Amino acid sequence: MAALINVPSKARRGDIIEIRTLTSHIMETGFRHTADGKLVPRDIITSFICRYNGAEIFRADLFPAIAANPYLSFFTVAKESGKFEFEWIGDNGYSSTASASITVG
Amino acid sequence: MPTTRRQFLNLAGGMTVAGTVPIVTLRPLQATPAMLNAAIRNVVGEAQLRSGRIRLDIPPLVENGNTVPMTVSVASPMTADDHVKSIHVFNEKNPQPNIGNFYLGPSAGRAQVSTRIRLADTQKVVAIARLSDDTFWQVAADVVVTLAACTEEMN
């Protein structure tokens, strides 16, 4: 699935940088009914992990109260050049990944 | 002045319309303040909840509960000795009380998380931060919601 990642491409060592992620997902709550009264089964992303050169720097547990197309923004200290890896895991075996690189001078 | 036929009919018509209005939509699935407390205790245990240090930015009035921007920030130096371990966000009246758990560490540099949430009703949102010394800090905000999310019918 499509994901939008916003990470600065360059940073100075020690800078605090913001990472913003947006992924497309319906985040069906499991509390809604169709017009004929059937419950729509839950289908959400349950967890999100961000790794910086392999080390986990941020993790989130998501619940049905997170809006569709989950948006997350958080911070990290730019310590070395390398790669950010993002992973979304959800119901019905859902899994999606994305990555972004950064040059730290 | 005697009531004319026209006035009488207007009045009667109005009452008929008013009589048909109260169609109550039942929403049995709703978290209660007790569920909110249980969810909070689940994270906090018996620890004391203090106020201060944590800040919750959320609009006080939202038109559409389907996507409400929210930012939680904690005043913390984010060093190895003194940092925020996790941030937990709860609600009072959605069908279930959790919104999200966010785990960070000293490498975050700044203890701040933003996301977009759903709110099924006008209610209280609570954010709790767990610090590295295992103290818990909380803040609450009231949000008025005019269009509810979560339980609406699908078209």
Residue B1 lies in a domain: no
Query: Mean pLDDT across chain B, nearest whole number?
Result: 85
- Is B134 within a domain? yes
CA distance A24 to A44: 11
CA dist., res. B91 & res. B80, Å (int): 31
Task: Write down the pTM of the prediction.
Answer: 0.85
Residues of A with CB under 8 A from a CB of B: 16-17, 29, 31-35, 40, 52, 55, 57-68, 70-77, 79
Q: Which residues of chain A have pLDDT under 70?
A: 1
Q: What is the mean pLDDT of chain A?
A: 95
Amino acid at A45: I
- What torsion, rounded to 10 degrees, do the Cα atoms B70, B60, A44, A17 define? -10
Q: B117: which 2 tokens? A: 């949430």
- In single-letter form, the type of residue at position B27 comes to R
C-beta separation of A7 from A102 below 8 A = yes
For residues A70 and A23, is the Cβ–Cβ distance under 8 A? Answer: yes
Boundaries of domain holding B54: 31-147
Which residues of chain B from 4 to 43 reach within 8 Å of chain A, CB to CB? 29
Contacts of B151 in chain A (CB under 8 A): 29, 31-33
Burial class (CB in 10 A: 0-12, 13-18, 19+), B85: middle
The CATH classification number of A3-30+38-104 equals 2.60.40.10
Instruction: Tell me if B16 is assigned to some domain.
Output: no
Question: In CATH, what number is assigned to the domain containing residue B86?
Answer: 2.60.40.2470
pLDDT digits (tens, 9 = 90+) for A24-45: 999 999 999 888 889 999 999 9
Query: For B42-71, how does the pLDDT look when each residue is reduced to its tens digit (9 = 90+)?
Result: 999 999 999 999 999 999 999 999 999 999
